[in-house]
A and B are shown apart, each in its own frame.
Chain A
């Protein structure tokens, strides 16, 4: 937190309190192989349940520390907001940064399993908060295995949007069970996603795109959103272009396959 301005809650910000511009972290120091074994027992910190989660470290302007301690720069009372967007496997955080100003009132969280990438995004967000006071307080990142521990962080129907952008294709057949979209995992996503909420998927790998479409089509709790409806969705442009992966595909003139689904209900 040393990069965040030390402004007490409610106190008027003054120009001289804001430290000089902090350099954004450089990605080259935070490289890590693109894959991680999602089935391993990584040493992860996760709350026993959503009620146990202390969000103040991630969103100090929205959550007071759980144990009641007074932290400089943090609010003393919760703003009452909850995380609503989750970017699963957020990578270097391009989408979060882009959406932060598009949806300034919405809290959004990236989840990333690779530790160095998480460090990079965290430093980037802290630097952005420092350099643009009042902005980027609504985005954060956690190192997490979202395939295992989503219900530890989010209550039933808490989220309104989930993003699965350029996920690990796990090409080999025997690795398909490690893919982030599977029939059984979709049920978990449907649990944390409120009815009407949206899942965004995009990939440059056609096979993976078809796989995701196949399983989302088959799942009773998701319905494809027609392309013409997506035109008005301000998130879609960023889903296509804001991520580092998306830009890489752009540079290589590759294809991008988008598929978005609405969370529906089949309960009687």
Chain B
């Protein structure tokens, strides 16, 4: 059985240690010899390691046991603490000496980025709803979760309870970076924005760094004397260098060009996507992890020229998940191994020569065996599927024409499709019709018409703009597309029902007509 690959690798700022996360687990590895020094799992062959493995111990509270996948990790600048946040919204602070969990707290929403401030007294998180919180690090185990303010439906005055964000994007926040002097906080989002605000007074927005044409995935302040440059990666096949306080783009690095790929198709929905950066301050090297691309880019950062240049391309043994330079400049990479390969970690020395010795322990017993490797690439939620309905209509018509021409691969008959679809699109509650029939131009008859359209459309499940009987991750709301007109005057009009998680089935806001075109 394959080993579960490591989603994240992060270096300890003051010791020769890297921490690797896989699923809900953490593993601390000595970077001088590759020995596993601490782990949240019971290692079968502790002895073969050559050293005793210290258990990384969770809080005694069983309910708080590590269950969900670790999403983000960060060390405090002095290395004394490690903060982790998982898919279950639980943030933990670990003591990196004793490897004990010091405290947990439940965040309002899933954290997408986490960083300590420079004195380690606060942890800053940016969440999937775009809010950024500046939280005191030291917290008793049983701090009332900030979630309380969200879930109370009755009382009127509880909105101000709990932690208030220092800033917020009306979009999913994807990453954050604090300037070295901690005067500024830089945050990125799914709607192509990079925002520079004062820290901790986040209400003072200094500027925006605008230029990316797709979601921004990762931002890092570049090393050097000036501390004025920011590096950003996105889903638009570019890496950009900014003079961030001026909002000034100083370089666009084209990844397709660097990898010898043809330019992207115009109107392509997906492009080459930067996953993350690893930065080696010693060499001013940047390792660029690109989503599902087995080649790792190594860039040279030249501060005087305010420019990154291609230094080297490393061919990895699989699709990369994470990369990190350790304190001596060795590069640790983690991959989902390609067919026929098993190594989940490969280490390269300062000359980028493979160092098999350092990775041997983690590759033999550093992770746990799984039947199937799950999808560990999580950029899908960042993509916007804005397929034009006209395209879809054309595709449908072509398919229909092919069917009529006797093509054996043609879609099923309308009746069968209808049945198939009706499983996915349940009948709307009765109130839906009532509440939508009142407003100008919108009638029961029309709604019926629209609904008929939807149930007859074979492509409805790839509309993508609004999830179909699915959940909008961003708003925590479920949507149900009830109908859509593809011909006539009202083309593109959507009737969308919002299904509420609290009452199961939308009985109030059903009939929210979103506008597509």
Q: Do A41 and B441 touch (CB < 8 A)?
A: no
Given A31-B440, A36-B515, A174-B502; A43-B131 close (CB under 8 Å): no
Contact of A41 among B205, B384, B517 (CB under 8 A): B384
Given A40-B465, A43-B465; A187-B202 close (CB under 8 Å): yes
How many residues of chain A are within 8 Å of chain B by beta carbon? 44
Determine the distance from Cα of A40 to Cα of B168 in the docked complex, in whole angstroms: 17
Determine if B419 is an interface residue (Cβ-Cβ < 8 Å). no
Given A38-B170, A151-B210, A184-B131; A221-B203 close (CB under 8 Å): yes
In the bound complex, residues from chain B placing their C-beta under 8 Å from that of A266 are 201, 204
In the bound complex, residues from chain B placing their C-beta under 8 Å from that of A188 are 205
Output the least CB separation between A153 and chain B (Å).
11
Q: Do A37 and B168 touch (CB < 8 A)?
A: no
Contact of A36 among B153, B203, B502, B514 (CB under 8 A): B514
Main secondary structure of the interface of A (DSSP, over half): loop
Q: Do A49 and B211 touch (CB < 8 A)?
A: yes
Determine if A267 is an interface residue (Cβ-Cβ < 8 Å). yes
Q: Do B204 and A32 touch (CB < 8 A)?
A: no
In the bound complex, residues from chain A placing their C-beta under 8 Å from that of B159 are 173, 176
Determine if A106 is an interface residue (Cβ-Cβ < 8 Å). no
B434-481 interface with A by 8 A CB criterion = 439-442, 465-466, 472, 474-475
Q: Do A43 and B386 touch (CB < 8 A)?
A: yes
Determine if A25 is an interface residue (Cβ-Cβ < 8 Å). no
Q: Do B213 and A220 touch (CB < 8 A)?
A: no
How many residues of chain B are within 8 Å of chain A by beta carbon? 58
Determine if A257 is an interface residue (Cβ-Cβ < 8 Å). no
Question: Which residue of A is nearest B474, CB measured?
Answer: A39
Q: Do A183 and B204 touch (CB < 8 A)?
A: no
Determine if B513 is an interface residue (Cβ-Cβ < 8 Å). yes
Determine if B33 is an interface residue (Cβ-Cβ < 8 Å). no
Q: Do A115 and B170 touch (CB < 8 A)?
A: no
The digit string for B168-181, where 1 denotes a CB below 8 A from any CB of A, is 11110000000000
Determine the distance from Cα of A115 to Cα of B513 in the docked complex, in whole angstroms: 12
Question: Which residue of B is nearest A151, CB measured?
Answer: B208
Question: Which residue of B is nearest A35, CB measured?
Answer: B512
Q: Do B153 and A183 touch (CB < 8 A)?
A: no
A181-216 interface with B by 8 A CB criterion = 182-188, 190-191
| Residues on A facing B (Cβ under 8 Å) | 28, 31-33, 35-43, 48-49, 113-116, 147-149, 151-152, 156, 172-174, 176-177, 182-188, 190-191, 219-221, 266-267
Q: Write 21 A-B pairs (CB below 8 A) sorted by A numbering.
A: A28-B440, A33-B513, A37-B466, A39-B170, A39-B472, A39-B474, A40-B472, A41-B385, A42-B515, A43-B388, A48-B213, A115-B517, A152-B210, A172-B508, A173-B153, A174-B153, A174-B500, A176-B159, A185-B170, A190-B203, A219-B203
Taking A38-B170, A183-B165 as known contacts, 12 extra A-B pairs with beta carbons closer than 8 A to each other, sorted by chain A number, are: A28-B440, A33-B513, A39-B472, A40-B465, A116-B515, A148-B171, A174-B153, A183-B168, A187-B203, A190-B205, A219-B203, A220-B203
5 A-B pairs with the lowest CB-CB distances in the bound complex, closest first: A184-B168, A31-B440, A49-B210, A191-B205, A187-B203
